[in-house]
């Protein structure tokens, strides 16, 4: 397994060209957050915007609109019941994150199917949380797109059929090949399975073991792949690295590192990394 290095992250987070605008840095649709799990979609959307994605739209339950906008005025919203509005937005975006706080109701399943039907092969689709469980439960066919799954070990057990205790590199790799997707298997020292190679994160620790931490990573990966879309693998590896790098920094003087604290630090740490080679 290859270790993800700081040098790779420094190469990925380039200084921004001057003649650019918000459309130059990717457009992302974030789908999730039912009435119970509104916090998840606030974290995912925030992480994407603080990672530098040019334009983010959040499709969520309307009961989350006010709290989402109070925390994050930069995002636009779609009522998740308006499936046509989701389909229309899909035509405009570089990528989609689906699943954080989505739940597993009939509406959640219908929304996942709407996205699967309309997504194009050129687009990124990050599949997290409830969306992974919906695929596992309903054995859904996967669409043609740049697929990125971000399961924790139990979600990976449900999706892959491999019990947590038997999730070895070779068995995980086999299922990665079948799924034709990148797999970010989240745990202590997260592993990333791709067609070409397997990577391991050597950062992060138990101060990160708090609800919403994975929702945040999904948003960072969404923000990175849409923004650094020419180097998608490096974008995924870099987002995963930076998420734990920031947590470790905070963890030097905090017992627990909260997802919203990590999000707040992303722009500053990206600036540091973008200046490292200059």
Ligand X SMILES: NC(=O)C1=CN([C@@H]2O[C@H](COP(=O)(O)OP(=O)(O)OC[C@H]3O[C@@H](n4cnc5c(N)ncnc54)[C@H](OP(=O)(O)O)[C@@H]3O)[C@@H](O)[C@H]2O)[C@@H](O)CC1
Ligand Y SMILES: Nc1ncnc2c1ncn2[C@@H]1O[C@H](COP(=O)(O)OP(=O)(O)O)[C@@H](O)[C@H]1O
129 binds Mg ion (CB under 5 A): yes
129 binds ligand Y (CB under 6 A): yes
Half-sphere exposure of 5 (CA within 13 A, CB side): 4
Region from 16-24, 123-131, 219-227, 262-270 binding Mg ion, contact rule CB under 5 A: 123-131
188 binds, among Mg ion, ligand X, ligand Y, none (CB under 5 to 8 A by kind): ligand Y
213 binds ligand Y (CB under 6 A): yes
Question: Between 34 and 114, whose beta carbon lies closer to ligand X?
Answer: 34
Among positions 192-221, residues that touch ligand X (CB under 6 A) are 211-212, 214-215
151 binds Mg ion (CB under 5 A): no
Question: Between 153 and 248, whose beta carbon lies closer to ligand X?
Answer: 153
Region from 65-73, 78-86, 201-209, 228-236 binding ligand Y, contact rule CB under 6 A: 201-209
The binding site for ligand Y (CB under 6 A) comprises: 129, 152, 186-188, 190, 204-206, 208-209, 211-215, 217
Binding region for (6S)-NADPHX: 40, 101, 152, 215
Binding site for ligand X (CB under 6 A): 37, 39-40, 100-102, 129-130, 152-155, 164, 187, 211-212, 214-215
């Amino acid at each position: 397994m290859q270790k993800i290095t700081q040098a790779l992250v420094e190469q990925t987070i380039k200084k921004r060209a001057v003649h650019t605008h918000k459309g130059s840095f990717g457009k992302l649709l974030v789908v999730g957050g039912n009435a119970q799990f509104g916090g998840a979609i606030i974290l995912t959307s925030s992480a994407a915007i603080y990672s530098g994605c040019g334009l983010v739209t959040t499709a969520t339950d309307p009961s989350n609109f006010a709290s989402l906008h109070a925390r994050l005025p930069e995002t636009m919203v779609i009522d998740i019941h308006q499936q046509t509005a989701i389909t229309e937005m899909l035509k405009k975006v570089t990528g989609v994150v689906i699943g954080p706080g989505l739940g597993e109701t009939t509406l959640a399943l219908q929304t996942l199917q709407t996205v699967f039907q309309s997504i194009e092969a050129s687009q990124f689709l990050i599949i997290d949380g409830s969306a992974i469980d919906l695929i596992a439960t309903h054995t859904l066919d996967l669409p043609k797109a740049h697929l990125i799954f971000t399961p924790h070990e139990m979600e990976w057990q449900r999706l892959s059929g491999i019990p947590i205790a038997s999730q070895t590199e070779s068995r995980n790799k086999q299922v990665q090949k079948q799924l034709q997707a990148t797999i970010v298997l989240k745990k202590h020292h997260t592993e990333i399975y791709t067609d070409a190679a397997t990577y391991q994160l050597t950062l992060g620790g138990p101060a990160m073991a708090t609800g919403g931490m994975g929702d945040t990573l999904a948003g960072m990966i969404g923000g990175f792949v849409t923004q650094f879309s020419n180097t998608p693998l490096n974008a995924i590896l870099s987002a995963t690295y930076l998420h734990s790098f920031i947590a470790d920094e905070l963890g030097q003087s905090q017992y627990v590192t909260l997802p919203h604290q990590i999000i707040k630090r992303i722009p500053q740490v990206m600036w540091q990394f973008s200046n490292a080679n200059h």
